[in-house]
Amino acid sequence: MVSTRARSKHPLAEIIETLESGGALLPDSEENVLEVVGVLKSYAVVLDAYSNNLNYIAEHQFLVLFPFFKYFNGDVSAKKLFQHWWHDRFNYEFAEYCMKAMFWHGGGGLDAYLDTPEFVALAQAAIGAKLKGNLLMQGLSKAFPEFLIEQVRLLAYYSGLGQFWRVMSDIFTELSDRYDAGEISSIPEVVALVKEGLVKSASLPITYAVNIDGQSYDILPKSAGLTFLMDTAVPYVEAVFFKSFPFMGTVSYNAQARAIPSEPERFSYGVLYADPLPVGGAGIPPTLLMQDLRHHVPEYLHQFYRRSLRGEEDLRVMICVSFQKSMFCVTTAAILGLAPHSMDTEDPQEQKANRKYLEGWMDKLTDSRIAYVQVCEM
């Protein structure tokens, strides 16, 4: 089909045209499919673990003042302790890092709901039940009434991200299974599957309740109307894919010296922008994720990495590059899923609206690593 649309004047016009013609932010190639599906297969395993832990913390470590064993998922034994010290474990800290990015940047219905009086009332009820008989904490809570409420907000984000990743983990597992079965062979097919999964779960309710002394206390009730796509997925993409935080030690947190933007809204340090080269260094958060992913990378992808210039030496950077590519696919799915009209619409007005919508996304992606993934370098 020959496009009848006028050429965009946007610097990323080519990408816009690719999206309009059914393509993705990531070019379609056999290698890219292998990398994206392989890394997402590993990511599915890691997300499953992260999700379980986030949900565990939200439900079972509710207002535990010193949550020493929050990464143990309730299984505190000498063996588990030694495994933890030996670092034979998932880096759950990375899940919390992402959760805090969401919490900090906010956005979406979850963030808005956490500032409502309804939420405060529900949180107070749960806090009251939790502090029953604990005079010290009751006194402290009275002296600093906002403190525990803020902790409950944080726990709500634990739960929200845990529920979001539960869905994503299942989508990526299905993607990998279908790739293994030979049903997926191109990047647009990957995007379509992720988009389908997102759309299918779009209205999935996001709820959160804790059990204290045998009684259930709602924190995020169903009546709040929070849903998967708009209240967790979109804020997650905004916070983790786009904004996030600069890596400590690589940029000075000095807005006055313009080392970082003065407005957090203008932050652009997310997955789509992050530099993969420092990965592997201490204090660089993605190192934790890549370390987890490397344990679950499928053999076909591992072999692909072994053939690279550095072989096994730069595995974590290679995984990060593949991961970044996969996140461009997920972003494509989110962009297409949220588009005002279907991309293959013939209606000029709808095409115009889509063009404006895509140009808005491309404005955000101009300084991202989209140029790097186009040429398949690194």
Partner 1 sequence: MLSALIWIPIFCAAVIGLLPASVSSSRLRSLAIASISIVFAWSLYIATQFDVIDIGLQFQEDIPWLDSLGLTYRLGIDGLSLPLVILNNLLTIVALWCSDTSIQRPRLYYLLILIINSAVAGAFLAHNLLLFFLFYELELIPLYLLIGIWGGTRRGYAATKFLIYTAISGILILMSFLGLVWLSGSNTFEYNPLMSQGLPLTAQIILLGGILIGFGIKIPLFPFHTWLPDAHVEASTPISVLLAGVLLKLGTYGLIRFGLELFPQAWSVLAPWLAGWAVVSVLFGAFTAIAQTDMKKMVAYSSIGHMGFILLAVAAATPISLLGTVFQMVSHGLISGLLFVLVGVVYKTTGTRDINILQGLMTPERGLPIIGSLMVAGVMASAGIPGMTGFISEFLIFRGSFEVFPVQTLLSMVGTGLTAVYFLLLVNKVFFGRLPDALANLPRVSWSERLPGFGLALIIVILGLQPNWMVRWIETTTTAVINDFTTVAAHLPNPKTIDLPLTPAVSENPLPVRLN
CB of 275 to partner 1, least distance (A): 7
108: phi > 0 → left, psi -120 to 50 → alpha, else beta; which? Answer: left
Contact with partner 1 (CB under 8 A) among 80, 280, 304, 341: 280
Residues 6 or more apart whose CB falls under 8 angstroms from that of 277 comprise: 317
Q: Which is nearer to partner 1, 178 or 294 (CB)?
A: 294
DSSP 6: P
* # chain residues binding partner 1, by CB under 8 A: 16
CB of 247 to partner 1, least distance (A): 11
CB of 295 to partner 1, least distance (A): 16
In Å, how far from its chain's centre is CA 294?
A: 18
Q: Is 31 in the site for partner 1 (CB under 8 A)?
A: no
Residue 245, amino acid: F
Contact 152, 159 (CB under 8 A): no
The CA distance from 159 to 110, in Å, is: 11
Site for partner 1 in 222-261 (CB under 8 A): 250
Q: Is 329 in the site for partner 1 (CB under 8 A)?
A: no
For 217-228, letters b (16+ CB in 10 Å) and e give bbbbbeebebbb
CB of 256 to partner 1, least distance (A): 22
Contact with partner 1 (CB under 8 A) among 88, 150, 313, 367: 313
Q: Which is nearer to partner 1, 275 or 350 (CB)?
A: 275
In Å, how far from its chain's centre is CA 259?
A: 25
Choose the stretch contacting partner 1; rule: CB under 8 A; options: 21-29, 129-137, 311-319, 339-347: 311-319
What is the chain's alpha carbon radius of gyration, rounded to the nearest angstrom?
Answer: 22
Q: Is 155 in the site for partner 1 (CB under 8 A)?
A: no
Contact with partner 1 (CB under 8 A) among 127, 315, 336, 338: 315
Choose the stretch contacting partner 1; rule: CB under 8 A; options: 120-128, 194-202, 273-281, 334-342: 273-281
Choose the stretch contacting partner 1; rule: CB under 8 A; options: 24-32, 116-124, 202-210, 303-311: 303-311
Q: Is the dihedral of CA 98, 100, 101, 102 positive or negative?
A: positive
E-strand spans in the chain? 208-212, 215-220
CB of 258 to partner 1, least distance (A): 18
Contact 38, 298 (CB under 8 A): yes
Give me the residues that bind partner 1 (CB under 8 A), please. 250, 275, 277-281, 309-311, 313-317, 378
